Structure 1
Amino acid sequence: MTDRYASFVQSGAGRALVKRLGLPDPPRLRRHTPGDPLVPGPVLLGAAAGSRLAEQVTKLLTLAGVELRDPAAATDATARYAALVYDATGITDSAGLRQLYDFFHPQARALLPSGRVIVLGTPSAECGTPREATAQRALEGLTRSIGKEFGRGVTAQLVYVTRDGDAGTPVSLEATLRFLLSGRSAYVSGQVIRVGAGTATAPADWDRPLDGQVVLVTGAARGIGAALARVLARDGAKVVALDVPAAGDALAEVANEIGGSAVQLDLTAPDAPTRLAEHLASRHGRVDVVVHNAGITRDKTLGRMDADRWDQVIDVNLSSQERINDVLLERDLIPAGGRIVSVSSIAGIAGNRGQTNYATSKAGVIGLVDSLSPVLRERGISLNAVAPGFIETRLTARIPLLIREAGRRMNSMAQGGLPVDVAETIGWLAWPASGAVTGNVVRVCGQSLLGA
C-alpha cells in the first residue's frame, strides 16, 4: 500500500508546503540492506562517572567496525554522528541525572538523519539503593522524550543490562546494539529493552545470524508473515512456512521463493499441534525458533459482536499459541538455546474501539510472555513478543481514510511501518546471539502516541 502523502512530502513542492503549514513531515527512514555498514558515520560514546559498561561497549563496537568518538575529545562543533550511545549505569541518585543533560544537550542537533540514541542502564531490581533505582527509572522519560524531540527519523532506546556475569550477556548486548544501531530498527523507537541472564552464541557471520537454524513461521502466506519468511531466510534460516489450506497457493509461492518448505494446516483443528510436531520431528528433528505470527480480526463493537467472532479471534491469536507451545515443549522439539517469538499488537496495550476480541487476545500474548518466559529461561529458551503499530498491509488498506491517516501520523515517524520492520525485529529476537534477551515486549510502532 502506498502512502501518497509521504511520497508527496518528499517532493520539492511538498517540502515547501509542509514547512509553511506545519504539517506532519514523514522522514525517509534508513532501513537495512545486506552489505550496509552497521552505521553510516561515527558514534559518540559517553558514560556517567563510575559506569560499568562503557569499556565493554567500546570493545564490542570497535570489533564491529564502528568509528567511536570520545566526547572529551569532540571539539568540532560541526561534527555529525550516526549515533549517540551513553552508559548511564553509574548514575546512582537524582543529582547524577545532570550528567545526561551535559552529554545530550550539546549534541541535540549533531545526529545525522535516521540517527540512533541508545542509553544503557541497570534494572531497578539490581540497584543497590532506592535512590539508584529511582534515578535508573528516570532514564525512561529521557529516551522516550528524545524519540519525540529529535525528529528526522532518529530513534531512541533504553537498554537495561543485568549485572549478572553470565557468559551470554555480552553476546546478547552486542546483538542488541547491532540491531538498534542498524537500519533493521528503523521503526522501533521509545522502547525499553532488558538484557538479562542467559546463554547466547555469537554467529560466525553477523550478516547471516540465523545460519543453520530451523525456523517455523505461522501465517506465512502474506503480509508480515511473508516478509518474516524472506528476512529469516536471508539471514540463513531454514524456514518452515505455515498457513491455512485456503492460502496454499500464496504459501507455496513464498516457500519456493526462499527455498523453504510449506505446511498447510489450520491451527484451530484439534489435532493441529500433534500434526505439526510430527512434521517437524520427521523432517528436521527439532525447531530452533517458533514465530507465532498467525492472527485474524473479526471486528465489531462488543455490544454487536456475536460469540463466534469472539471465539475465533481468541482461538487463533492466543489459544493456538498455547497449544502449540505445550506440545513442542513436551516433546522437547525446541532445544536449549531455542527461541519463541509471538506477535502481539499495540491494540493489546492501548485497546481499540471495535476490537475488544482482538485487543483481548493480543494482551493475552503479552501475558503469555510475562508468565512463561521465566519458566522457559530455566530450559535455556527465550520468549519475547513484538507489538506492531500501524503497518502498511492489505488489512490496514481497508481502514477508512481518516482513521488510516491518523494511524499513520500519530507516531514520532509520522508514517506507517512496513512489514519488513516487524520482520527485522523478530529476526533479532530469534538470533542465537540474543539468548539473554527474554521476557520483552518490543513495540514496532514508530513510537506511537497510543498507549505511550
Structure 2
Amino acid sequence: MTDTYTRLVSKGLGRDVAKKLGLPQPAALRRYEPGQPLSNGPVLLEGSSPGADELAAELLRWDVDVRRHAVPRERLGGIVLVLDDVESPDDLEKPVLTAASSLRDLAPNGRVVTISRAADGSPPEVAAARQGVDGLLRSLAKELRAGATGNGILLADGVTATAPAALGALRFFLSGRSAYVDGQFVRISSASGELPADADKPLAGKVAVVTGAARGIGAAIARTLHRDGATVVAVDIPAAGDHLAAVANEIRGTALQLDVSRDDAGGRIIDHAVRRHGRLDIVVHNAGITRDKLLVNMDRGRWSSVLAVNISAQLRINEALLASEHFRSNPRIVSVASTTGIAGNRGQTNYAASKGGVIGMVRATAPLLAGHGGSINAVAPGFIETEMTARMPFATREVARRLNSLQQGGRPQDVAEAIAFLASDAAGGISGEVLRVCGQQLVGA
C-alpha cells in the first residue's frame, strides 16, 4: 500500500513545508537486495576487549571497510559498539562517549549495533552495567534520524562476539534486511549455528513450510525464503486456492490446501513435505485471523475461532513436528506473533491473548528442540502495510504509521526478512526469543 504522505514530504515543496511545520519526515529505508554491500559506508568498531579485536578481523573477511578509530567527517555506514567486558556502570563512559562523537557522521540509513552481555545472574554492579546498555541502546535508537537504526546483540556468558549466531545477528542488523527493526535486542544463548557459504543464499538446500501463504505477509515470507535458496511448501485454506497456487507457481514450490486448525494438520504438512521434497527443515507459523470486538461485546464464536487458528493450531502442529523423525536435523520453527500480544490493543483481547500465547509457547518449546540442534523463535510485527491495514479509517491509519521511531509503516517484506534470518543456520544459537519488527513502535518493551 502506498504511503502518500511519505512520498509528499520526501522532496521539493512538500519536504520544505514539513520541515518548517515540524511535521514527521519519514526517510526512504534501505532494504536488502541480493548482491548489495553489507553496509553503505565504512563501519566504526569501538571497543577495547579481545572480542572487539576478533570481531574487527571477522568484518574485514566480509570485505567491510573497518575503522578502529574515527576519521573526522567521514561518512559512516555503521557503528559497532563492543561492550562485552563491562563490569561496572563506570566502564560505559569511555566507549559510549567515544562512539557518540561519531554519531553526526552516520550516513542516512546507517546502523548502530551494540554487543554486550545479558545481565541475568550477574553480581549487582555487573548487572547494572549490562542492563544499562539496554536503556542506552533503546534511547539512542529514538534519537537516530534519516532511516538509521540501533539494535543490540546480547551474549550469554561463555559465548564470544564471534560465535556463529552473534556474527549472523550482526550481519542481519548491519544489512538492509533489518530496515524496519529498531531498538531491539537479540539474545545469543549458545555457540551453536553455522554461517552460510553464500550470504545471499543462506537457506540453500532447505525445505520450508509457510502457513497462510496465499496473500500479504505469508506470500512475502514464501517469496523471501525462496529467494534465499529454500524450496517452499505454501499452505493456506482451500478458499484461497487460486491465490495459493499463484504464489506456489511463482516461487517454483508446491501448494497444500489445508485448514491448519484441523487435528491432522501437522501430519499432513509433514507427509506433503517429505513425499514431495524428501525432507522438512523449517516451519513458519504465519496463518492467523482477527475477529475484533470490545471484550464486553465478545461472543464465543469470535473468541474461540481466533484462539483456534492463532495458537491452538500451532501447538498441535508443533506436537506433530516434535514427534516426527523427519524433523530432527537442526530444525527451525518461526512463529508470527504481534506487538499486540506484548502491549495489548483496544478491541483485540482475543487476538492479544492468542499472540501472547504464541510468545509463551515459543519460550517453553525452545528447550524441547535443543536436543536436535533446533530452535524456535517469534517475530512480532507492528504496523505493517497490508490489505487489512488499508481498510482502517484514514486518521487511525495515519496515526498508527507515525507512532514509531522510523515514522512510517513497515512492509510485509520486512517481516519476511526477519523470519528468513531466524530460519537460517546462522541463527542456531538464538532460541526462545521474540524479535519485534515495528520500527521501534512507541508501545511495549
The reply to whether TM is greater than 0.5 is: yes
Q: Does 1:436 align with 2:429?
A: yes
Partner of 1:58: 56
Q: Which secondary structure does the structure 2 equivalent of 1:156 belong to?
A: strand
Partner of 1:226: 219
AA of the residue aligned to 1:42: P
Which runs of structure 2 are paired with 1:75-90 in the superposition (5 Å)? 76-90=71-85
AA of the residue aligned to 2:115: L
Q: CA deviation at 1:450?
A: 1.4
Q: CA deviation at 1:237?
A: 0.2
Which of 333, 338, 341 is equivalent to 1:348? 341
Is contact 2:46–2:95 with CA below 8 Å preserved after alignment?
Answer: no
Distance 1:394 1:214, change over 3 A: same
CA–CA distance in 1 between the matches of 2:68 and 2:57? 14
CA–CA distance in 1 between the matches of 2:162 and 2:305? 40
Q: Does 1:281 align with 2:274?
A: yes
Partner of 1:151: 145
Cα offsets for 1:231-258 (capped at 9, x unmatched): 1100000001000000000010011011
AA of the residue aligned to 1:445: C
Q: Does 1:291 align with 2:263?
A: no
Partner of 1:308: 301
Cα offsets for 1:342-391 (capped at 9, x unmatched): 00000000100011000100000110111111222233111100000000
Structure 1: runs of 5+ lacking an equivalent: none
Q: CA deviation at 1:70?
A: 1.2
Which of 229, 235, 254 is equivalent to 1:236? 229
AA of the residue aligned to 2:37: P
Sequence identity, in percent? 50
Is contact 2:141–2:183 with CA below 8 Å preserved after alignment?
Answer: yes
Q: CA deviation at 1:162?
A: 2.4
Cα offsets for 1:66-125 (capped at 9, x unmatched): 000012xx3x42111000001111211111121244223211211000100000111123
Cα offsets for 1:295-335 (capped at 9, x unmatched): 00001111111101100100101010010010111012222
Which runs of structure 2 are paired with 1:156-305 in the superposition (5 Å)? 156-164=150-158, 170-305=163-298
AA of the residue aligned to 1:124: A
AA of the residue aligned to 1:172: A
TM-score normalised per structure 2? 0.97
CA–CA distance in 1 between the matches of 2:162 and 2:286? 27
Partner of 1:393: 386
TM-score normalised per structure 1? 0.96
AA of the residue aligned to 2:82: D
Q: Which secondary structure does the structure 1 equivalent of 2:120 belong to?
A: helix
Is contact 1:53–1:89 with CA below 8 Å preserved after alignment?
Answer: yes
Q: CA deviation at 1:31?
A: 0.4
Cα offsets for 1:179-212 (capped at 9, x unmatched): 1000000000100111121531222211100000
CA–CA distance in 2 between the matches of 1:60 and 1:172? 13
Q: Which secondary structure does the structure 1 equivalent of 2:387 belong to?
A: coil
Q: Which secondary structure does the structure 2 equivalent of 1:372 belong to?
A: helix
CA–CA distance in 1 between the matches of 2:202 and 2:29? 23
Q: CA deviation at 1:3?
A: 0.7
Partner of 2:67: 69
Q: CA deviation at 1:52?
A: 4.1
Partner of 1:39: 39
CA–CA distance in 1 between the matches of 2:53 and 2:156? 16
AA of the residue aligned to 1:57: L
CA–CA distance in 1 between the matches of 2:148 and 2:66? 19
Q: CA deviation at 1:126?
A: 6.0
Q: Which secondary structure does the structure 1 equivalent of 2:163 belong to?
A: helix
Q: Which secondary structure does the structure 1 equivalent of 2:104 belong to?
A: coil
Which runs of structure 2 are paired with 1:5-154 in the superposition (5 Å)? 5-47=5-47, 49=48, 51-71=49-69, 74=70, 76-125=71-120, 127=122, 129-154=123-148
Partner of 2:330: 337
Is contact 1:169–1:200 with CA below 8 Å preserved after alignment?
Answer: no
Is contact 1:126–1:163 with CA below 8 Å preserved after alignment?
Answer: no
Q: Which secondary structure does the structure 1 equivalent of 2:29 belong to?
A: coil
AA of the residue aligned to 1:175: G
Partner of 1:3: 3
CA–CA distance in 1 between the matches of 2:326 and 2:285? 16
Aligned residues: 445
CA–CA distance in 2 between the matches of 1:449 and 1:383? 26
Is contact 2:329–2:372 with CA below 8 Å preserved after alignment?
Answer: yes
CA–CA distance in 2 between the matches of 1:169 and 1:367? 29
Q: Which secondary structure does the structure 2 equivalent of 1:412 belong to?
A: coil
Q: CA deviation at 1:159?
A: 0.6
Q: CA deviation at 1:282?
A: 2.1
CA–CA distance in 2 between the matches of 1:310 and 1:100? 51
CA–CA distance in 1 between the matches of 2:95 and 2:308? 46
RMSD, aligned CA: 1.5
Is contact 2:188–2:430 with CA below 8 Å preserved after alignment?
Answer: yes
CA–CA distance in 2 between the matches of 1:330 and 1:101? 48
